[in-house]
Amino acid sequence: MVGHNGLKIRMMLAGSILFGFYAAIAGLVFLAFGTGTTVLLAVALGSLVFVGFQYKFGKWMALRSVGAEDMPEGRGYDQIHRSVEQLSADMDIEKPRLMVAEMGVPNAFAVGRKGAGVVVVSQEITQLLGHDELEGVLAHELAHIKNRDVVMMVIGQSIASLVGIVVQFAYFFTGEQNIATFFIGSILGNVAQMIVTVFVMAISRYREYVADEDAATYTNNPDAMARALEKISAGAQGKEMRGEETVNALCIFGSDDSFFQKILSTHPPTEERISRLRSMSAY
């Protein structure tokens, strides 16, 4: 049994801060439209519907964006199914739905929650990695489902979008309603969304370290996980991933190399992840 107090504390803290952003949204709406019971109920119901829609739509869109299809038991995938069955039993979670897709790069990602999880692997990764390396990747994705951090990411990104939308329209409706006001509101909305996103991405990077550690522990093979990351990183060089904008934050490997990588990247540096896994191998 693997426990991660660090992740639990961070997720509790993240939940509290995200609730704070949510409360700020309600405050802005009240300032703009009043404080009656009808407004309160509208804010609460509207927010729940928005987040619920984002969760369901985000899951559907992630699978659709890469053209994921159910992984058959045959056609060379039997070993993957058996590995996931065993790892799921070891982690005390239900075996998730397995899907396969042609992503253009070797990669994998998980969506959903315990009891309703989906793990997608690319055709490219099944051809690139050895069995022990692929097993490490599968364990990594199952760890995300077990740790419930996929749900936290979806909720966090939904609230970031909600904050941006509310700030934009609150500014517009409380000021002079003209093009200049709308333009300034759009800028303020994007800035507000960026602030929340920076916080969510920090949680995203930490959860990758945790999933790496879980994968190494449950497979008892940190070196295989390190080799998998090396091969995936090399195999992705110079290639464009299908559906990258939609699923990048969910994948085992992120290719973000922009100017703002340190604060907006969904993944920590691959070299650092490999170094940590090598350190586990040493012990």
Instruction: Say whether 69 is catalytic.
Output: no
Would you list the DSSP string of the chain? ----HHHHHHHHHHHHHHHHHHHHHHHHHHHHH---HHHHHHHHHHHHHHHHHHHHHHHHHHHHHTT-EEPPSSTT-HHHHHHHHHHHHHHTSPPPEEEEE--SSS-EEEES-TTS-EEEEEHHHHHHS-HHHHHHHHHHHHHHHHTTHHHHHHHHHHHHHHHHHHHHHHHHHHS--SHHHHHHHHHHHHHHHHHHHHHHHHHHHHHHHHHHHHHHHHHT-HHHHHHHHHHHHHHHTT-PPTTHHHHGGGBSS----STTHHHH-SS--HHHHHHHHHHHHH-
Of 124, 133, 135, 141, which is the active-site residue?
141
The catalytic residue positions are 141
